[in-house]
């Protein structure tokens, strides 16, 4: 099937600050590929380079067979972009938005109406097409933005934090729509997100990015499987001391202190909770609460970075 996006040591520096640090990325054709990381990790900068909005400081990238620097025009013609900041005009209708972008992207006049109707059906806005955007819900606006990015039949659709600011129900609706789009269209979707559940549900493969670097990449299932561990979260007095003390237990694979809670990586955690609680009590660390979780992407991120994704500032 091959890769539709490939980067080699691509970097971007701002006034001495390395926002994207020598990233290698391989995105298979017709996949949903996620770049997962906290705010400020370099996700938007990376996408901006791949979309030719920003020029790399060093390294190179190929999108749909075109070099992002030497063949920027060809790259732009073969991609669609939906950035996290909204860019809709409330006094235009949905159809007018799509017509304007069809014109900007050079969709031939003789097929333009057919393409507009096709996209309106795809984004389920046919009945609202001639209503002003100011009457649209948040989810409808997001679908319109995605439709706008699809109007010229792009090979790659870039979605930067596609469900940021949406309520949980609308977010799930957008997830379902993105999955349907990928399954029914000849299109690759590259999305950035800091939502663990979004990456887990949507993506065939995920690259975890932190402080401008790709830390690891694989399918969500393989990343979680790699941990081979459950997580016991325990609240005790003096957690700083306890996180060091508990490492004496030979069944503890790793221990982290996150937001005042001690997280223990273990195998078959349900069988080990009594031993952990007894150890804590015997060592003078009264247990306030204890929880067991099976591996998820949050645990993967913690393993590689030592911090929660949500603890990063914007």
pLDDT, tens only, 8-61: 999 999 988 999 999 999 999 999 999 998 888 999 999 999 999 999 999 999
- Per-residue pLDDT band for 314 (boundaries 50, 70, 90) equals very low
Q: Where in the chain is the domain with CATH 3.40.50.300?
A: 3-224
Long-range residue pairs from 89-93, CB within 8 A, at least 24 positions apart, any chain: 89/133, 90/132, 90/133, 90/134, 91/132, 91/133, 91/134, 92/132, 92/133, 93/129, 93/130, 93/131, 93/132, 93/133
Give the DSSP letter of residue 311.
G
Contact assessment for residue 13 and residue 178, using Cβ atoms and an 8 Å cutoff:
no
pLDDT of 312 higher than 70: no
- Model pLDDT, residue 311: 42
- Per-residue pLDDT band for 84 (boundaries 50, 70, 90) equals confident
* Mean pLDDT along residues 226-234: 86
3-224: CATH homologous superfamily? P-loop containing nucleotide triphosphate hydrolases (3.40.50.300)
- Model pLDDT, residue 234: 95
pLDDT of 154 higher than 80: yes
Please measure the distance between the N-terminal and C-terminal CA atoms of the chain and give it in whole angstroms: 37
- Model pLDDT, residue 186: 84
23 vs 301, higher pLDDT = 23
- Model pLDDT, residue 313: 37
Which run of H or of E encompasses 35? strand 32-36
For the entire predicted model, the pTM comes to 0.78
pLDDT of 1 higher than 70: no
* Mean pLDDT along residues 211-227: 90
- Model pLDDT, residue 310: 59
Select from 1.10.10.10, 3.40.470.10, 3.30.70.100, 3.40.1110.10 the CATH code of 230-294: 3.30.70.100
What is the pLDDT of the chain when averaged over all its residues?
90
* Mean pLDDT along residues 114-121: 89
- Model pLDDT, residue 263: 92
Q: Where in the chain is the domain with CATH 3.30.70.100?
A: 230-294
State the Cα angle at 268 between 246 and 273, rounded to 5°: 45
- Model pLDDT, residue 184: 84
pLDDT of 264 higher than 90: yes
* Mean pLDDT along residues 214-235: 89
pLDDT of 91 higher than 70: yes
């Amino acid at each position: 099937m091959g890769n539709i996006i490939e980067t080699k040591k691509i970097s971007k520096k701002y006034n001495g600050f390395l926002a994207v640090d020598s990233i290698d990325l391989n995105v298979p054709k017709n996949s949903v590929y996620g770049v997962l990381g906290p705010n400020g990790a370099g996700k938007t900068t990376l996408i901006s380079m791949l979309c030719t909005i920003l020029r790399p400081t060093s390294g190179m990238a190929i999108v749909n067979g075109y070099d992002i620097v030497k063949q920027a025009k060809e790259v732009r013609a073969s991609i669609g972009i939906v950035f996290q900041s909204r860019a809709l005009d409330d006094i235009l209708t949905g159809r007018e938005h799509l017509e304007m972008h069809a014109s900007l992207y050079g969709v031939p006049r003789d097929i333009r109406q057919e393409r507009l109707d096709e996209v309106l059906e795809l984004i389920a806005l046919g009945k609202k097409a001639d209503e002003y955007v100011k009457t649209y819900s948040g989810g409808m606006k997001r679908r319109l933005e995605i439709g706008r990015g699809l109007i010229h039949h792009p090979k790659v659709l870039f979605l930067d934090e596609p469900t940021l600011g949406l309520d949980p129900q609308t977010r799930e609706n957008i997830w379902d729509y993105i999955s349907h789009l990928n399954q029914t269209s000849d299109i690759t979707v590259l999305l950035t997100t800091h939502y663990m559940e979004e990456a887990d549900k949507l993506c065939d493969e995920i690259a975890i990015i932190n402080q401008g670097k790709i830390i690891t990449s694989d399918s969500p299932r393989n990343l979680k499987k790699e941990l081979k561990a459950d997580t016991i979260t325990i609240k005790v007095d003096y957690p700083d001391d306890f996180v060091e003390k508990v490492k004496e237990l030979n069944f503890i694979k790793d221990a982290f202190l996150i937001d005042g809670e001690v997280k223990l990586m273990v195998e078959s955690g349900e069988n080990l909770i009594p031993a952990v609680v007894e150890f804590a009590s015997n060592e003078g660390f009264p247990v306030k609460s204890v929880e067991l979780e099976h591996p998820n992407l949050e645990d993967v991120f913690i393993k590689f970075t030592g911090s929660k994704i949500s603890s990063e500032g914007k």
